[in-house]
Amino acid sequence: MFTTNEVLPEDLIIQILLWLPVVSLLRFKCVCKSWCALINGQNFINKHLLHNQTTSNKNRNAGFLLIQRQKSSNDRVFSKLQYESLEILSTQAVPSPYFGIPKHIRINIVSSINGLVCLNLNTANPDIVLWNPATNETKVLPKSGISYPQGRTLTRDVGFGFDFKTNDYKVVKLLEIFDPDSEYCINDINYFYAAEVYCLSTGSWRKVSTSAPGYFMDSGCYKTYTKGMFSWSAGIRDDLDYFPGILSFDMSNEVFLTTTLPDGDLEDPNGTWRIFFVLNELVSLVTFGKDRERLENCFYIWSLLEYGVKESWIKLFTIGPLMGIEKPLGFWKNESLFLRNNEGQLLLYDPSAQKITNLQVDGRPMQMITYVESLISLKGGNDLEEQGNS
């Protein structure tokens, strides 16, 4: 009796399997023990991810992960959209660690890298979950256990990224700690700031050796990740003043960089929203007015060429004025912009044609990110040398 490997060379089997989606590969693990061992092997997992990230395959295998609230039940669900067609491929419930959480607590997508998604809750000390939607594997991160004798600790925000030097996935947690002896004083309360890093390879937390700079997180705005750098909206402290900017963390060198926002088109008499996305692999800023009662709004788009250098912001273009738009949700190809209107519908604006398309998503879109499926496991780090760009 011939085995599969005697009929077809293993190299040919691998080349065929590399073209298959994750859902098919999970099924094919049941074909025989040799296929199961092959598909579970780190070498094949890495090859499959790199194959999906090649220029010719990237858009075919990539897509978007969308959090939305269903109209009928108000339950939160995750939907996968195909990159080219923007069709919904599948919809699934929130990961099991978040089953049963109250509906008023928001689930945030921190970022997605190589098919792994980091989620957290908008609570003071949230449970942080790593999740592979394709394999449905989840990992609830342990509490750090690091003590701060100065006093009460509050988690201000979370970041998720890839360390190119160690080929490891990292979660960084920004902490605000009450300290009566601190030089920083906000509303007559003294705080200092610290950061901790969780490494998937070790499964543990540790303090970041470089201290977090004095900043005040603007939690109402988005954060973003690109090419080994995670960035949050922040107030940059200069003597006694705060200036709007971004706080960025280098995942490999574990250092912080601050960049003040550009001048012009940022302030609105009724307040300005500032949201960060990734456009052409650069941190990009979208600003627009806060006044939801106004009929029209303009959206100003900037990109940052060099972290830490205010003068490297470049203004790309302006969208609008558009009517009935509540907020932007991210970019698609050719600088098209996903939007949510005042009725909670997901729209796509094409700046070249100046046309808005209703994508007919049945639910209220809350947040969306680019996403590529993978077999990457949450059981530990891996040895892939060219990751981190998804």
| Predicted local distance difference test score (pLDDT) of residue 358 | 94
| Predicted local distance difference test score (pLDDT) of residue 102 | 76
| Predicted local distance difference test score (pLDDT) of residue 1 | 37
- The amino acid at 115: G
- Residue 228 falls in which region: left (phi positive, over 0), alpha (psi -120 to 50) or beta: left
Residues of the chain with CATH 2.120.10.80: 55-372
Q: Which helix (H) or strand (E) element contains residue 50?
A: helix 42-53
Tokens describing residue 62: 């990539």
- The amino acid at 41: G
Per-residue pLDDT tens for 124-151? Answer: 667 899 999 999 999 999 988 787 766 6
pLDDT of 240 strictly over 70: no
Measured CA angle at 104 (ends 98, 107), to 5 deg? 45
The verdict on whether omega for the bond into residue 149 sits within 30 degrees of 0, i.e. cis, is no
Residue linked to tokens 């269903």? 70
Residue linked to tokens 């780190």? 42
Strand partners, 259: 246
pLDDT of 38 strictly over 90: no
Three-state secondary structure call for residue 82? strand
Cα separation, 324 vs 61, in Å, equals 33
User: What's the mean pLDDT in 41-64?
Assistant: 80
pTM of this prediction?
0.86
Strand ranges across the sheet with 116-121: 107-113, 116-121, 129-132, 137-140
- Going through 83-167 in order, the beta strands assigned E by DSSP cover 88-93, 107-113, 116-121, 129-132, 137-140, 153-163
If pLDDT is split at 50, 70 and 90, which confidence band does 57 have? low
Residue linked to tokens 């009460």? 152
pLDDT of 350 strictly over 90: yes
Question: What homologous superfamily does CATH list for 55-372?
Answer: Kelch-type beta propeller (2.120.10.80)
Least confident span in 2-16, 111-125, 322-336, 369-383: 2-16
Three-state secondary structure call for residue 390? coil
Tokens describing residue 293: 């009662």
- Pick the residue with more confidence: 146 or 166? 166
User: What's the mean pLDDT in 95-105?
Assistant: 78
Instruction: List, in order, residues 6 or more apart from 45 with CB less than 8 Å away.
Output: 39, 374, 375, 376, 377, 382
pLDDT of 271 strictly over 70: no
Tokens describing residue 117: 């998604």
Helical residues (DSSP H) of 302-390, grouped into ranges: none
